[in-house]
Chains A and B, each alone.
Chain A
Amino acid sequence: MPAQRPGNTLAAGHSGVTGETVSALPTVEVPDRPAPARPEEPREVHVGEPLPKRRRYGGETYFKSLTTVGGSAVLAIIAAIALFLIIEAVPALSANKENFFTFTKWSPNALNDAHFGIASLAFGTILSAAIALLVAVPIALGIALYLSHYAHRRVATILGFAIDLLAAVPSVVFGLWGREFFAVPVQDLSIWLNKYLGWFPLFASDGRFGHSVLLGSLVLAIMILPIVTSLSREVFMQTPREHEEAAMALGATKWEVIRTAVLPYGRPGIVASVMLGLGRALGETIALAMTLGSSFVISWSVVEPGGNTIAANIANAFGEANDQGRSALIASGLVLFAITLIVNMTARAIVRRRKRFLAAATT
């Protein structure tokens, strides 16, 4: 028999049983509990008495409104940001003499003669984020699998801690390191890539190497590595033991267990972690402002000096921008906002489709 505490009439009140049945439950007084807060309200059900009334303004109601307010605040903030971006962007956009979406240069400051467009910045943003993902995701998944399935527990703990530390390094430090130190080996790598794979557009160069998209992307890759690693590691560790054992009992090797049980189970989580990394890569500002060459051309070459992103350009150009220039930068921010929104929604759609397959499986 469950001991009914004073104040806990919920079970009795909601079970819909008659008063007699309820009173058959023993009412055990728990001494260390304070007496009911409002003694005028009936706390216990006695034979023949009506069931206690539902309380209209209990803690339940307050807590519910508190969470509702919290939830709607998120929506309100997002709407406010979008509204701010749109309103602030309109003056520059209407003064712009060029097509904002196709023009590649950025000179928005001259009154009555503003020429700016998002094309090269958006291209650079997506290119550098894509390369960063291409480099970081396989490595991150490899580390995550090593940590979750291969490494000795103590090694895994230490290494996991180190990875989390990597996530804690401020991006300006990454930028400095990338600019002053990492640039040298990346330049050597660029020369090597150009020498042997120069026929491939990404590695073409007119002989100059330096603060290139490759440098920025590799720094970005290091920055998103910890996010993708720790999230996918969590997902891999949640693989149900029974699925792994099912694969093992069929004679699967470790890698085959990972392929048949761990990766399929973790796929939605992997997608989510990659998308989070992508979000970080798209929005990363200062590290890229410091490592990229800040050019305004659409070029597929990642080894030549150059490259720029929306966020890096905002950081670089904000200081010398006048009101109109700022308005133009805000317009570029609006585009970045839209890109990240699309990325996030795509990620959610992918995860949801997967969920629907699993949900269909269990009904």
Chain B
Amino acid sequence: MAKRIEADNVTAYYGSFKAIEGVNMVIERKSVTALIGPSGCGKSTFLRSINRMHEVIPNGRVEGTISVDGQNIYDKDVDVTAVRRMIGMVFQRPNPFPTMSIFDNVVAGLKLVGVRRKGELQVAAEKALRGANLWEEVKDRLDKPGAGLSGGQQQRLCIARAIAVEPQVVLMDEPCSALDPISTLAIEDLIGELKDSYTIVIVTHNMQQAARVSDRTAFFSLEKTGDPGRLVEYDETQKIFTNPGEKRTEDYITGRFG
């Protein structure tokens, strides 16, 4: 389980617009890496490049290589769906499938890979829901619509859905930005538990959150609007928040810009 990610000279475009340029980064296995930076700096774009979700946007494309345990996921022969199964994703807004029950939501990914046996699905669903700290709250109403849960529960349902297919890496794109503080806390606790099994990369606008949950932090920034975002500094979270190496990082985390 859990793999190491190496990004080598990653540049991502929206049509002719260059969103990020020349990102080099090594993300260690079984760790939580936070991506922070001002709006438009390309941190979400970089995150979406890691599971090849950037290219589903019309005219979106990525240059450079991203390797997971030495295998380039942008290699021509690679099956995109296999990459996405290996690298799960949780989105900014909770997005359970609205027409599906809680149970069907959790096992949606498993059904895609052809798991059909009821017993097998039930075991996997319970495991994933326990893993997402949601089992106790929903075990009596697995057949109810997933969209009927509260926002925080929905987001944990989405996390359960992502980890049900047993990925190596879980990407989270501002997973708490639509949630209240209590739900946020629940998700943050969960992230702490998940890192025992998965490599986690999380984009967040909340610097306290980055400081609380992550082992390493990457600070992205851009010179001015229209310029591509770049990786400014990447180091231990402890160091980024106490003794950053770059002036711009310090300005950002102390709230002097961004």
A interface residues, Cβ below 8 angstroms from B: 240, 242-243, 245-253, 256, 260-261, 264-265, 267, 357-358, 360-363
Contact = CB atoms under 8 A, between A and B. Distances in A.
B226 to A, nearest CB: 25
B101 to A, nearest CB: 10
Contact of A249 (B82, B89, B100, B113): B89
A242 B93 contact: yes
B91 A256 contact: no
Given A245-B56, A361-B148, A362-B148, A250 B95 contact: no
Contacts of B113: 251
A248 B85 contact: no
Contacts of A357: 99, 145
A243 B145 contact: no
Nearest to B86: A251
A245 B91 CA distance: 9
B99 A242 contact: no
Contacts of B82: 251
A267 B99 contact: yes
B85 A250 contact: yes
B112 interface: yes
A267 to B, nearest CB: 7
Contacts, number: 78
Given A250-B108, A250-B161, A256-B112, A265 B98 contact: yes
Closest 9 CB pairs of A and B: A251-B85, A361-B145, A361-B147, A250-B109, A264-B99, A249-B89, A242-B95, A251-B81, A251-B84
Contacts of B95: 240, 242-243, 245-246
Nearest to A251: B85
Contacts of B85: 250-251
Contacts of B96: 246
Nearest to B147: A361
A250 B148 contact: no
Contacts of A361: 98, 145-148
Contacts of A252: 81, 112
A251 B98 contact: no
Interface string B102-126: 0000001100110000000000000
A242 B82 CA distance: 20
Given A242-B91, A260-B97, A357-B145, A249 B81 contact: no
Contacts of A246: 91, 95-97, 158, 161
B165 interface: yes
A150 to B, nearest CB: 14
Given A250-B84, A256-B112, A267-B99, 18 more contacts: A242-B93, A242-B95, A243-B98, A245-B53, A246-B96, A249-B51, A249-B84, A250-B85, A250-B109, A250-B162, A251-B109, A252-B81, A260-B112, A264-B99, A265-B98, A357-B145, A360-B148, A362-B147
Contacts of A267: 99
Interface string B42-58: 00000000010100100
Nearest to B94: A242
A71 B89 CA distance: 48
A265 B84 contact: no
B165 A251 contact: yes
Nearest to A363: B148
A41 B147 CA distance: 50
A249 B112 contact: no
B116 to A, nearest CB: 14
A358 B53 contact: no
A265 B99 CA distance: 7
B88 interface: yes
A79 B181 CA distance: 57
